[in-house]
Amino acid sequence: MAKNKNNQAIWNTRIKKKTSSIFQRVGSSINIDRRLYKEDIAGSVAHVEMLFKQKIISFKIKNKIVYGLEKIKKEIEKNKFDFSTKYEDIHMNIEKKLFLIIGDDAGYIHTARSRNDQVITDFKIWIKSATKEINNSIDKIIKSTLKIAEKNIETIMPGFTHLKNAQPISLGHYLMAYVEMFFRDKKRFINNLESLNESPLGVAAISGTSFNIDRNYTAKKLGFKNVTNNSIDTVSDRDFVLDFLYSVSVCSMHISRIAEELIIWNSDAYSLIHLSDKVVTGSSIMPQKKNPDLLEYIRGKTGSTFGNLFSMLTILKGLPLSYYKDMQDDKEIVFSSNDKLLDCLKILDDILKNIYPNKKKMYELANTGFITATDLADYLVKNHSMSFRRAYEKTAEIVNLADKKKKKLSELSIEELKKIEPNLTKDVLKVFDLKNSVNSKKSYGGTSFENIKRMIMKYKKII
């Protein structure tokens, strides 16, 4: 390309007037998609190698292009590359620069491809590695959670439903619930790899190409497992973006739930946990305050992550096939969700390492609200041959009595209990013991200490 053309858009032969300056500013995505430079260069190298193998370009031109691309990569990595909004996006910035480095032979690089397949190729490769990084961060969270769970197998706390005391549980069991959730998150991200592993490269703008290309060759070179099937669908498809945004949203939602829970537990009303000074902030006016700002931050970020998913769904909902400029926003949305999730995972990991359960308070709270009432009902079914409904009624009567006398269930005497169920013996009193209650839940997945130990072992082996 002649020197004087270097400041002009690639399509200047056809379009004679300069794009409106406001559109040049807002329509350019270079400040966002420059993050794709590595993937873009890898895609271009694979593409020209394939073009050479298929005898579409010569050995010399292929080498020149590869040399130029490597040089560009180094410049970018050394922060010496001058990204310009004039050339809209990463693909054109690189192509323009290639002309400057190797001259007119750069013009062969765009044979048998379009930015439409180029951008999806870059983006899929990027999301694949982002997926790996996220899963590594989730692994760290799982490890930290397993560590606290292991230390708290015998820490008894109230299990809540409707935020009212339901049944006693172990804190370890509670934490293992989050391990399950984070494992599902990992699985969700891994499931996305199936479509991420289909290479879009070679479908060109919309219809495929008349050049004798080898799509499987570029797919292999770039680490894809196979190729997409339909050229029109390929350039229109952003389902893989939605899958990623949805997976990030679900993982953020899990983080938000644990954050919300820990905020409640940390409140003065509950005082079930203590947060070290590393993970709290102060108030500018109230000197006594230690606020769980970090937890609030990660809960809050979930809102914009959900927003990102909805933005993308909305962008796509009215789009006819195939490529439209509307889609360009997909990168900003994905980068934003990705970055927020990685930050939130790191923050959560920090918090998990700086959390101290108030075991005494947990036990005391678990010992209120007639929390072992269901244990009593179960006891009546097992030992006094009652149906569960009958036992439920009897137990409710006993709870009413305790409530009236302002006593805990365990404070009722056997004589008082016998007034409601004459067949009861002293043996019943053991069901009011919290530890006994927790350990009696031996059904698979239940809160007994043995079950928790087994689960911790299982997950320690997997991770």
Omega prior to 322 cis, within 30 of 0 = yes
Name the minimum Å distance from CB 91 to ligand ARG: 6
Give me the phi and psi of 356, to 5 degrees please: -125, 115
Q: Closest approach of Cβ 168 to ligand ARG, in Å?
A: 55
| Shortest CB 123 distance to ligand ARG, Å | 8
Q: How many angstroms separate the first and last alpha carbons of the chain?
A: 54
Cβ atoms of 52 and 58 closer than 8 Å? yes
Smallest distance, ligand ARG to C-beta of residue 435, A = 60
Instruction: Compare residues 84 and 383 and give the one whose CB is closer to ligand ARG.
Output: 84
3-state secondary structure of 298: helix
Name which of 238 and 254 has its Cβ closer to ligand ARG.
238
C-alpha distances (whole Å) from 349 to each of 129, 138, 255 are 21, 9, 10
Question: Which residues are the active-site residues?
Answer: 162, 283
Q: Which residues bind ligand ARG (CB under 6 A)?
A: 29, 89, 115-116, 119, 323, 327-328
State in angstroms the smallest separation of the CB of 201 from ligand ARG. Answer: 13
DSSP 281: B
Q: How far apart are CA 302 and CA 117, in angstroms?
A: 31
Tell me the two tokens of residue 80: 């010496």
For ligand ARG, give the closer residue by CB, 244 or 323.
323
Burial class (CB in 10 A: 0-12, 13-18, 19+), 172: buried
Distances (CA, A) of 403 to 75, 211, 368, 369, 399: 76, 84, 11, 9, 6
User: CA 366 to CA 378: how far, in whole Å?
Assistant: 19
User: Given the complex with ligand ARG, which of 89 and 243 has the nearer CB atom?
Assistant: 89
Q: Can you list the alpha helix ranges (DSSP code H) found in 108-167?
A: 115-151
